[in-house]
Amino acid sequence: MQRRQFLRQSALLGAGAVVGTTTGCDQVDTEPQSPISFTPGEPVPWINWAGNEHCYPQWREAPATTEQLVDVMKSARGVIRAVGSGHSFSAVVPTDDTLVSTDLLSGLVAHDPATMQATLLGGTTLHDSGPLLDAVGQAMPNLPDMDYPTIAGSIASSVHATGAEFGSTSSYVVAMKLVTPGGDVIECSADKNPEIFQAARTSLGALGIVSEVTLQNQAPFNLTEVNGVAPAQEVWSTLEDRVKDNRHFELFTIPYSDLILTVTTNEAKPGDKNVGEEDPQAVNSLRAAFDATAWVPLVGSALYDKLLQIAMGEAGETVRTGKSFQVFSHVRIVRFREMEYTVPAEAGPACMQEIMAKIRKERIPLSFPFEYRYVKGDDIWLSMFEGRDGCSISIHQYGDLDYKKAFAEIEPIFWKYDGRPHWGKIHTLDAERLSQLYPRHWQDFQEVRKSLDPEGRMMNAHLKHVFGEV
């Protein structure tokens, strides 16, 4: 019997057994994945990938060059916001005034084989950047595990991957071209307009719209990724060595389970071959296993772990090998909502384990795996990794289930460990509390922001919440 068929039938059995049985987890509320309406003749709505943010922009623009972007900014009305691929879970995009799409602002502008630097238009997706750079003998040193975002969008929210010796995407930026709300074009780098450069490398799009980005790259290279499953106790006891001994290491904890998914990625060796096949809907199989056993008092039983092993397959490790940009990224087709905080690297294990204990104690209905990654510190003013190495922990909920109650239970744990929220993901912090997390440069950023946008034309409701009223 195919494992998906087995899991579906197990889920039905579990549903039937709920009657007259103490449930293992509290009931989960459902919600529409795209809870918006459209009235003919009214503005067409925009909605993000996760389905939790939307707006009704009166005016839409799609410039293809810096010159066109300048014209757009000069003539734009109301609050201006840029949108790339719409993969932010936080409300950084919504505006009912002018929405500027960067879809057409895409492609390779220039490259330098001597310095291994390349300039891309800001709307170029990470997916497209891989082949573009490969064609000129370059590759980004690191990439997130999904490549849908644009390069400018990734920088705006300090998107990152994993690897204790690798920084966020913003840390590889060496120069930028920024178009301000007034239509001025500002070139910035560590040597030219350095304060604007430091602010623009993680800005939430509050300074204007980035039209060009110059990246520090390296020569193309191949990677091999090995996926496995191991007992949680074994992984936590060997975590330091796993991080130290691999170019990249990350893990996924599974609520109510004593199993952990591990991902190790290193430069490929001769003879490395693909083993097995990645399943983009594997998280749905995990959900089926959870639903099949949620009726058991004390989820986390041997039955649940056995179903998880079946859900993840018992064929052993899955191996992917090939060009770096092909191995780093994965297909993401199951919609979800996400909250992520970065805590000091040394606090990662304690924070993660407290979260898992809280979920079990309070019977919080979550089954989507949580991601755990290490990222090198940097000096970027509003980077989550400013001044310290970080451990990023991501909490997920399926897109058709209510995330608010569960996230509200877990978020205070991150505060306890001095966590900084990911700018592109769900959180509840305001300007007062965020300013305390960035004591060295919060005011520096505010001064640059106000100098470039004195009228607050880039400030939607969310940015006013996180930065304070203009």
The 10s digit of each residue's pLDDT in 265-298 is 999 999 999 998 888 888 887 888 788 776 655 4
209 domain residue, yes or no: no
How many residues belong to the chain? 470
pLDDT at 293: 73
104 domain residue, yes or no: no
Structure tokens at 313: 């397959």
Beta strand spans in 138-246 (E)? 173-179, 185-189, 209-216, 222-231
254 domain residue, yes or no: yes
385 domain residue, yes or no: yes
Residue pair 285/312 in contact (Cβ under 8 Å)? The answer is yes
342 domain residue, yes or no: yes
Residue pair 380/337 in contact (Cβ under 8 Å)? The answer is no
Q: How confident is the model at residue 26 (pLDDT cuts 50, 70, 90)?
A: low
37 domain residue, yes or no: no
Percent of the chain with pLDDT over 70: 89
Question: What's CA 15's distance to the chain center, in Å?
Answer: 33
Q: How confident is the model at residue 221 (pLDDT cuts 50, 70, 90)?
A: very high
The domain that holds 284 is classified in CATH as 3.40.462.10
262 domain residue, yes or no: yes
Residue pair 462/468 in contact (Cβ under 8 Å)? The answer is no
Residue range(s) defining the domain that contains residue 252 = 222-425
Q: What's the domain count of the chain?
A: 1
Report helix angle 302-312 to 3-17, nearest 10. Answer: 150
Q: Which DSSP category does 357 fall into?
A: H
pLDDT (mean) for 189-201: 98
Q: What is the pTM of this model?
A: 0.92
355 domain residue, yes or no: yes
Percent of the chain with pLDDT over 90: 80
Model pLDDT for residues 43-56, shown as the tens digit of each residue: 999 999 999 999 99
pLDDT at 16 over 70: no
